[in-house]
């Protein structure tokens, strides 16, 4: 179990923005951003059918098709099928994430975590990605933020469907690893308590960041580390608010979050620290986390991420964050 040996490094590339999240992204800009990630040495790419109804997978596949398949690690997700019939992307029912990909493709999405749908989803993704294999497959979004009170029913369908299919595919060597990709800790805690099946890793988005980490620290990360289930951190910039944007949790950031970010920025400036560096390195400091996958739609953002990973951050900055109660007292911080 675990995927640390599979991943080429701690920095990957998340493709949710390539699905036209929040705005229309020209094809050329999307392609240039993926190429920039490659040129900067990034070799782990994560995507999903959900991102723009297949748009992110298509765009990623177009670029990666020009590179040797053995040179990179690729993950995508199951749980939603992209259909040929049209629908209004802005009118999709997405729980707390309404309108997230309203600029994406108009293909209808169907939530389906059954065994048959999992196999079909993988085949469809292989076609869009122009590849013959996947390294990691995540079961996507079986959590409260998308399904509300029905999330446990969706989880049970996935447990008896997608989980077992992916376990079998791993045993056959068809995929190298599998796990859950969610925005909440509860499904991951529940999965760790199962006797079987046994995932290799989790992709946790937005729940281990400078702005939101206390709940994950309580049980999830220690339990994952104990069971050798690695954590990939998605959304290390909390939907952009920690990288100069205005979104938090995929929506316009509320006043209290804006105020908290302003306090962190003030301390960062006082210690000569880039806030992106602080956010990225914080998310990677726990022993359970093996990679972070910030997303981008502009090549310059990729360069910033690479620089942020290598920036030296003085110990006094982390001490100041603790003293101001801006990070949990027991949160691990990067070694100086």
pLDDT in tens, 191-237: 999 988 899 999 999 999 999 999 999 999 999 999 999 999 999 99
| Buried-exposed string 201-220: b where 16+ CB fall within 10 A, e elsewhere | bbbbbbbbbbbebebbbeeb
Q: Which of 72, 22, 23 is nearest to 47 (CA)?
A: 72
Element (H, E) at 201: strand 201-205
Q: Give yes or no for a contact between 286 and 327, defined as CB atoms under 8 angstroms apart.
A: no
Cis peptide, bond prior to residue 197, ω within 30 of zero = yes
Beta carbons within 8 Å of 70's beta carbon, 6+ residues apart = none
Q: In 10 A of CB 150, how many CB atoms?
A: 11
- Percentage of the chain exceeding pLDDT 70: 100
Please report the pLDDT score of residue 97 as a whole number: 79
Q: Which of 235, 223, 234 is nearest to 186 (CA)?
A: 223
Q: What is the pLDDT of residues 103-161, one digit of tens each?
A: 999 999 999 999 999 999 999 999 999 999 999 999 999 999 999 999 999 999 999 99
Q: Which residues pair with 248 in a beta bridge?
A: 251
Tokens 């994406």 belong to residue: 104
Q: Which residues are catalytic?
A: 46, 51, 77
Helix, strand, or coil (residue 138): strand
């Amino acid at each position: 179990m675990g995927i640390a040996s599979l991943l080429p490094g701690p920095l990957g590339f998340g493709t949710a923005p390539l699905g036209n999240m929040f705005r229309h992204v020209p094809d050329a800009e999307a392609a240039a951003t993926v190429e920039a990630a490659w040129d900067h040495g990034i070799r782990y790419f994560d995507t999903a059918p959900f991102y723009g109804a297949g748009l992110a997978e298509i765009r990623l596949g177009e670029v990666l098709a020009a590179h040797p398949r053995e040179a990179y690690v690729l993950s995508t997700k199951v749980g939603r099928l992209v259909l040929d019939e049209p629908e209004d992307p802005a009118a999709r029912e997405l729980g707390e994430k309404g309108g997230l990909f309203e600029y994406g493709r108009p293909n209808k999405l169907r939530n389906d975590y059954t065994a048959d749908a999992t196999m079909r989803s993988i085949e469809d993704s292989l076609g869009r990605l122009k590849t013959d294999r996947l390294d990691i497959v995540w079961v996507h979004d079986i959590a409260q933020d998308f399904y509300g009170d029905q999330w446990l029913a969706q989880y049970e369908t996935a447990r008896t469907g997608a989980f077992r299919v992916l376990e079998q595919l791993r045993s056959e060597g068809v995929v190298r690893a599998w796990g859950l990709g969610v925005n909440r800790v509860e499904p991951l805690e529940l999965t760790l308590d199962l006797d079987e099946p046994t995932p290799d890793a989790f992709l946790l988005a937005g729940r281990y960041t400078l702005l939101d980490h206390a709940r994950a620290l309580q049980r999830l990360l220690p339990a994952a580390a104990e069971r050798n289930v690695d954590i990939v951190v998605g959304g290390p910039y909390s939907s952009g608010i920690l990288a100069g944007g205005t979104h938090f949790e995929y929506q316009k950031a509320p006043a209290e979050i804006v105020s908290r970010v302003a306090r962190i920025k003030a301390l960062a400036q006082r210690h000569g620290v880039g806030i992106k560096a602080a956010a990225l390195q914080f998310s990677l400091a726990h022993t359970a986390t093996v990679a972070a996958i910030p997303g981008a739609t502009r090549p310059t953002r990729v360069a910033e991420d690479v620089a942020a990973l290598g920036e030296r951050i003085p110990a006094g900055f982390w001490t100041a964050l603790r003293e101001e109660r801006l990070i949990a007292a027991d949160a691990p911080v990067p070694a100086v």
